Chains A and B, each alone.
Chain A
Amino acid sequence: MLKLGFLIIVRDLRLSMRHGSSTTMVVSFFIIVVTMFPFAVGPEQEILRKISLGVIWVAALLSSMLSLDSMFQSDYEDGSLDQFVLSPAPLELVVLAKFIAHWLSSSLPLILVAPLLGILMNLPERGYVPLIVTMVLGTPALSFIGGIGASLTVTLRRGGVLLSLLILPLYIPVLIFAVLAANAVIDGDPVMDHVLLLSGFTLFSAAIAPWAAAAAIRAGLE
């Protein structure tokens, strides 16, 4: 059963590599959005230092959303989604594999370039490790929750905007606890509560998302 999940992950990663545009687009968008802030708020180092974590996180949320609507869309359009429903692999496993592939293809690259943007935003030296750790802990939740949204809007032809309206509010807890945790490390405050809440939220979304998304797809195909 795990082998089937692995197969689907490999297939989706291969597709996103061949397609090329999605990962590149997500990373470029991320870089461009963060780059705009020093232009907008001016080059005062103190201000940039203060907003750096928040800006990087918000930009990461927005960019990981860019590739969400393609998560099930192309499979729906070419009939592959029907075959997934009919295949012996449970649909819950299929969507879980697709969430993981989405994380690998659009959140992992963001985590890799985030330190570079930290330099740009004058992130304090002590902030780099917390930034990466919170991103590793928090971004899977973006793929899980976003995946629920993508499965709900898969049958709508132009569901992109609706999808953002649907799931951006649900991203807020991730944003709050990730930025709180990373800032606590920089300020030397106790950090464990925030980290636990962030991890808890990710685990919670991981637990419900496969079932919710599979149910949404079954209902959508009718």
Chain B
Amino acid sequence: MSDILRGYDLACIRGEKPVFSNLEFELPPGQALILSGTNGSGKSSLLKIIAGLLPAQRGRISFFDENILGDQDWISHNICYLAHKNSLKAEMTVAENLAFWAALDQYDGDIREKAVKVGIDHCLDLPVCYLSSGQARRAALARVLCHPGEFWLLDEPTVGLDSKGVRLLADLMADHLDKGGRILAATHIELGLDPAKTTTLNMLDYTFSAHEAFHELFQEPWEEDFQC
């Protein structure tokens, strides 16, 4: 039994294009895993795989000796996923948006307090379509705070944020780690998190470049018998 979230031998193919393979990671409680790598190296894909939105070609992710890959029930109660898009309805006010997602994710804390934390409490009653992109991103971060899940999967969380917003995000992440939460974040920006609590996973180490490896992954078991 182990409370470390471990990924084993993960491989991902988008379309026909292999993205990464043999990817392994470890995420103990109170730690952050920063995914780095160039565009297209599979950071978003890895987050989507963990969130169960994308099937992995191979591999598994274990938590307390159980494979949680694609386990919708476990994922829905433990994982909070912030995508590129903010998942906020332009026609509804910030408060309505946050209240809706909080109710759906079964969070029963104070939403206003979280809005104060990300600094958008003054536009709670504004429809999202009137917000600037930075403000909308902050509202999306407030949604993350209003999620009871222990695991945060953040895909480019700093997009649209000003330098103050980036510092705020770093503080929120540090806060979450202090409370024993875990974070997987794909980002290019140095957030200044405590180095003792941060591991960096360079996606380029797992790029699927070798041609043979590609064939190995696609090879059906019966094909092996026919090879010279």
Contacts and interface: CB of A to CB of B under 8 A. Distances in A.
B130 interface: no
A44 interface: no
Given A221-B53, A222-B53, A83 B81 contact: yes
Interface string A203-222: 00000000000000000011
A40 B85 CA distance: 48
A15 B91 contact: yes
A4 B53 CA distance: 21
A45 interface: no
B76 A18 contact: no
Interface residues of B, number: 29
A181 to B, nearest CB: 39
Interface in A1-56: 4, 7-8, 11, 14-15, 18-19
Interface stretch (B100-108, B116-124, B169-177): B100-108
A88 interface: yes
A78 B136 CA distance: 12
Contacts of A80: 87, 89
B90 interface: yes
B19 interface: no
Q: From DSSP, what is the main secondary structure of chain B's interface residues?
A: loop
B75 interface: yes
Contacts of B141: none
Contacts of A11: 89, 92, 100
Nearest to A3: B103
B104 A87 contact: yes
B53 A79 contact: no
A18 B90 CA distance: 10
Contact of A87 (B55, B76, B89, B96): B76
B91 A85 contact: no
| A interface residue count range (under 10 / 10 to 19 / 20 to 34 / 35 or more) | 20 to 34
A7 B104 contact: yes
22 contacts: A7-B103, A7-B104, A11-B89, A14-B91, A15-B91, A18-B91, A18-B92, A19-B91, A77-B85, A78-B86, A78-B87, A78-B90, A79-B84, A79-B87, A82-B51, A82-B81, A83-B81, A84-B104, A86-B52, A87-B104, A88-B104, A222-B54
Interface of B: 51-55, 73, 75-77, 79, 81, 83-92, 96, 100-101, 103-106, 127
Given A7-B104, A14-B92, A88-B106, 10 more contacts: A7-B103, A11-B89, A78-B85, A78-B90, A80-B89, A82-B81, A83-B101, A86-B52, A87-B104, A221-B53
